[in-house]
Structures are given as structure tokens and as C-alpha cells.
Chain A
Amino acid sequence: MVSHSRTPLRAHQLRSLNQPRPVTVRCDQKGFPLALWQRGAFCRIRQIKDRWRLDDEWWRRPICRLYYLVELEDGTVETIYCDLMIKKWYRQRESMRTYGGQRVR
């Protein structure tokens, strides 16, 4: 058995990276994103390039997210997700290819 090193964990010194940031999204009736609020105005979404779902931690505080990889009108590509538990939108850097979420048809 490995003995306890007695070094304090200092968890308060940890700053999580890639935290999701809230974003305002205009959606259609089916819940698909249409426009994204950025720099003081809504920017239309030209194309939804990819969509996947992430479900995890059902045993404690369930995480249920629907990610969208969208191409905006100005040509930029963003990853946004809808937290299905609280129905709020967030922006976060992520790729389905990297961590294999479940593709949604």
C-alpha cells in the first residue's frame, strides 16, 4: 500500500482550463441554434457542421449536453452546447473526434 505523502492537495490553487462560458443563442422551434450573440449583435449561423451528445455522471449530478459545431456568417467556426438539464447555452472548445461523443442524427 502506498503511504500518504502528507503533502497538502492545495485544490484551491487549481484553476480549471477550458471552462464553459455562457452565451446567448437564438433557436428555432425545434431547438436548433440559428444565431449567436457576439460583440454586441446576433451573428447568424450559416451551417451546423456537426452535432453530438454527451451524457455522463448519471450517478451523481447528471451531465447532459448537446454540442454543435457551427459555422457563423463571418466564416468563424465555434463549438457551443446546450445544457439539457438547465436549458442554457455555453461556448466551449471541444471536438467530437477527440473524445468521441455520441453523434446525433
Chain B
Amino acid sequence: MTSDSVLAIGSTAQDLKRVASFIGRGSVNNAARFLEEALKNKQTIKLNLLPSYLRVWVAKIDNLPAIRDPQLLAEEALTIGCMLQNAVLAAARR
């Protein structure tokens, strides 16, 4: 992964983890704000440079705005955020 990719994926991961965190604290408005940020940052990710498994996880971000149950949204956002973060950590190890 390029350093640009790592930055874009890392930022998106943090946004998604904040979505989950704010829902956990009952702050749905802040969660919505970070979901918007995640969607924006996702646009900067160069998908063609990613391993195929990671492309699948990144693509799942587009489904998040349609989730109406906050708890389910939190779970999904956290899961995707963790997988993206893991990819960044693994890239840093190499």
C-alpha cells in the first residue's frame, strides 16, 4: 500500500470508529457527522491499489447510511473501521 492509501484508509477507519463511539455515548448527531466524514475520506481511497479483501470492506461503507438502527450502524461501522485499521497496522509492520 502507498503512504497515500495508508493515510486515506487510516482516516476513514478513525471516522468509522468514532461513529460507533458516539452512538455508544448516545450522540447520534456527532455519529452522523463522522459518518459523513468517513464517506468523504472513502472517496480518496484508491481502490485499485488495495488487496481484494480490503476493497470489499471499503465498499461496505456505502451501505452504512441506509442503516436505520443505531446499534446495528455502530456495530457495522466499528467492524469495518477495525478491519481498515488492521490493514494500516499490517502495512506499518512490513
Are the chains A and B members of one assembly?
no
Chain B residues within 8 Å of A, Cβ to Cβ: none
* A interface, CB within 8 angstroms of B: none
